[in-house]
Structure 1
């Protein structure tokens, strides 16, 4: 099917006209629906006429949330070239690898990064566009606002095939290995929009009064909420810094109704004094996802902030809400044990639970989740081996181990690669972490298998305590024994100041695991 997205967005601009559509908080930019539509038309026209970007070309974006919001889906879908959204918090070497891999024709970059990145970008041979005028001119670097000066705000007139044309690339988080490049069509993203409307409780989170604040990187899962908010007539607000003090101020000042956080940030918010000093009463929905959340911590958050929590389960490779645990589900879920679930499948998603041979397992049995829906990508860019290994008959093999209970709730037990096999028993790292994180002294933890002469692998934990807390490792080990049993409890436990986190706030178990398996004859990947 063909679509002129500029025409679609133009209809929204007429309907919601002077309502706020986008607010960039740090840069103090505000755009109504009409203004955002005209600006993104100008950007799309500039991409073609001044940068010469055509179908098949790629523009690489190393940008903060506010600047990336100008080049997000509502801009990409108006043009021919694809946008590659990387995380600005990734390392320079990771960006170097990503650009060498995807070979962009243009790179949009934060001006503050130019001193470190300019030489590397010139080596790539791409046009370099900085988002603000630099204090000192850089040879061969153009300024974004200069490029769009004088460009028409008329419809670019581009039609794209919603199922065939690739217009967005995103790199996987890399929590279990080297990142891969996911490729998306317009329909993949419209699936994200439509599944966010499938549950009637979403009308509380997404409507014409919505003010959705993004603190998580919009280059990743948070950005999937742009179109659902836009099509409902709501306002998207961006915050660049992962600063909870600033977030609390912004919620109060901007009357924020909706936000999304990874569980790590929710845990930190519980210990944030500013959360008590600022008026957060405008919040109606706090989405959380991207990593397991301790049921004990979630219960504390509910008691503190009310029944505003809404879990989303999805993935880079399946760009839609796969499962939801709604606020209504959260009521009484602690008593039923379903607070630990990912919720029920959304309308239109197929989930298979399979064994190692790809055969469906019996109901209630743990297996790997395979996902198929409109949001499921067709494969990885430039990676036929990865595509063949992880996709089958339209299903993406998620690598998540889980089961579905008799009421249809999906429980994610662990990542397939994070199963610790100790003495012949399978121990799931996420389950042990949930037990540790429930202890009142614990802020976060990472559980991995480490080499052991007797058991093959032994359960080991690294734990970060809350500020000012003190507890002995033996006490925490005993706590897990009491909640999960002796064989699942860590054999060893180390108190650490920090844990390695991905750019989107996930604990990188592989980084914790690697240091224990270096120079071992067998290594766990």
Structure 2
């Protein structure tokens, strides 16, 4: 089916013409719906007329949130495909992704341009470079974004393409368990995000929503852009994931909604910022990207009220497939308390199967791998037939690698990543269960659990733990504490107290980096 996405966005712009659509907090600029639509037209027409980009060509955005928000989904109404980078990835990772997709044009921040290795690498690859801020020095091959916009046409783009076949965006998976793979998105995948949210039983967004993007728009935060935009809501962006800055923005702009990873919420409470700032305007806080400790969630619920929604999705099944709504967070009995450790119920029009290693459906209560199919699921990885065959079934299911089970009410309980399962003495130990037990101790801020080599058992359960400021506890005391929470064979045999854990650019603990310290020159004997 053909679609003119520019026409769809124009219809929305006309409906909410003079209403505020986007506010860049750090850049101190804002756009109405019509202003944003016309700016996006200028960007699309500039890429076509000035740089000759057409269908099949790629442009890259190596940008912070404020500048990235000017492009985001609005520019997918044009023919070229976008490549979104995680801004805080390493130089080597950025170059790997550039060499894999080969963008002809790249939009960058000043600080990127001023790093000689980046500038030289762009030039060596023959890429056109557009700097979003006025360059401090003239450099060959570099042009200033706002000079280009000033002379660009704001006429309607008038591009039609196939809603399922045309690639609007390339984005690499997070790489928490290895080198990221390149996901390729159609417009159908994007629109599914809005439809899935609208199909949820709770009315999440209205025209009055003020949503603050604190996590990268190049990652999961973008899943909220279209559903908010189509409803006529306002989106706010900040670049730095600084909690003081975040709290100031919520208070000043009376933010009603945001999306965070659990570590941000943990730190927010540890720093007592909910007492220093007025955060009472928040009525919806989405969390996801990594599991939330149920004991921490209870504390957050007590402090902020019934405002939390858990979202489960993935780069390949973007943006959401399972949601634990506000009503599901209300705890009145032990059954409700157990439900907090689930990731929620499957969204309408999404299919989820829980299967064994042979692809056979598991009965209620029995764990297996999550397989997902729906309009939100990509068709495969760009230029990687082998990985596509390994991770997608012929009839369209994506194999998530997450181990979970359904309960009798249809809630999905994620037990662990398949690759993070620890097998010790023939017993399966799921890292998340052990981490939840550790995190329930009042002195623990965060933990990560892995299997480390053991001559007799194959692997033993090991934890690295960050304690809250000014808190102390011994290894023996914490081990004994977990013995009352989980089965003895699951209890950590060793604990190391650390000041920090390796995190991805979006706040996920990089379990593989913790694990690699202990498995150097050894072959793991589990999947």
Q: Distance in 2 between matches of 1:411 and 1:398?
A: 14
Aligned to 1:448: 450
The answer to whether the Cα contact below 8 Å between 1:517 and 1:524 also exists between their aligned partners in 2 is: no
The answer to whether the Cα contact below 8 Å between 2:171 and 2:183 also exists between their aligned partners in 1 is: yes
Aligned to 1:324: 323
Map 1:11-410; keep pairs closer than 5 Å. Answer: 11-76=11-76, 78-116=77-115, 117-201=118-202, 203=203, 205-332=204-331, 335-336=334-335, 337-392=338-393, 393-410=395-412
Q: Distance in 2 between matches of 1:179 and 1:376?
A: 17
Displacement after TM superposition at 1:523 (Å) = 6.7
Displacement after TM superposition at 1:219 (Å) = 0.3
Q: Distance in 2 between matches of 1:115 and 1:74?
A: 28
SS of 1:478 mapped into structure 2:
helix
SS of 1:484 mapped into structure 2:
coil
CA deviation string 1:380-434 (max 9, x = no partner): 0011111000000100000000000000000000000000000000000011011
Displacement after TM superposition at 1:521 (Å) = 4.8
SS of 2:192 mapped into structure 1:
helix
SS of 1:315 mapped into structure 2:
coil
Query: In 2 relative to 1, CA 161–496 (structure 1 residues): closer, same or farther, beyond 3 Å?
Result: same
SS of 2:38 mapped into structure 1:
helix
Q: Distance in 2 between matches of 1:426 and 1:521?
A: 18
The worse-fitting range, judged by mean Cα deviation, of 207-216 and 271-280 is 271-280
SS of 1:31 mapped into structure 2:
strand
User: Which of the residues 443, 463, 473 maps onto 2:475?
Assistant: 473
CA deviation string 1:448-469 (max 9, x = no partner): 0000011110000000111111
Displacement after TM superposition at 1:220 (Å) = 0.7
The answer to whether the Cα contact below 8 Å between 1:287 and 1:311 also exists between their aligned partners in 2 is: yes
CA deviation string 1:348-395 (max 9, x = no partner): 010111111111122221000000000000000011111000000100
CA deviation string 1:206-265 (max 9, x = no partner): 111000001001101111110000000001111100101100000010110000001111
SS of 1:479 mapped into structure 2:
helix
Displacement after TM superposition at 1:134 (Å) = 1.1
Unaligned runs of 5+ in 1: none
Aligned to 1:422: 424
Displacement after TM superposition at 1:334 (Å) = 6.6
SS of 1:12 mapped into structure 2:
helix
SS of 1:149 mapped into structure 2:
helix
Q: Distance in 2 between matches of 1:298 and 1:118?
A: 45
**TM-score, length basis structure 2:** 0.97
Q: Distance in 1 between matches of 2:490 and 2:380?
A: 37
The worse-fitting range, judged by mean Cα deviation, of 95-104 and 113-122 is 113-122
Query: In 2 relative to 1, CA 333–122 (structure 1 residues): closer, same or farther, beyond 3 Å?
Result: farther
2:459 matches 1:457 = yes
SS of 2:409 mapped into structure 1:
coil
Aligned to 2:505: 503
Q: Distance in 2 between matches of 1:333 and 1:65?
A: 39
Displacement after TM superposition at 1:274 (Å) = 2.6
Q: Distance in 2 between matches of 1:301 and 1:333?
A: 16
Displacement after TM superposition at 1:200 (Å) = 3.6
Unaligned runs of 5+ in 2: none
2:21 matches 1:2 = no
The answer to whether the Cα contact below 8 Å between 2:66 and 2:237 also exists between their aligned partners in 1 is: yes
Displacement after TM superposition at 1:128 (Å) = 0.9
Query: In 2 relative to 1, CA 503–333 (structure 1 residues): closer, same or farther, beyond 3 Å?
Result: farther
Runs (4 or more) in structure 1 with deviation over 4 Å come to: 521-525
Displacement after TM superposition at 1:111 (Å) = 1.2
Output the aligned Cα RMSD. Answer: 1.1
Q: Distance in 2 between matches of 1:175 and 1:34?
A: 39
The answer to whether the Cα contact below 8 Å between 2:220 and 2:319 also exists between their aligned partners in 1 is: no
CA deviation string 1:122-146 (max 9, x = no partner): 1221111111111111211111111
The answer to whether the Cα contact below 8 Å between 1:295 and 1:334 also exists between their aligned partners in 2 is: no
Q: Distance in 2 between matches of 1:200 and 1:230?
A: 20
Displacement after TM superposition at 1:115 (Å) = 2.2
**TM-score, length basis structure 1:** 0.98
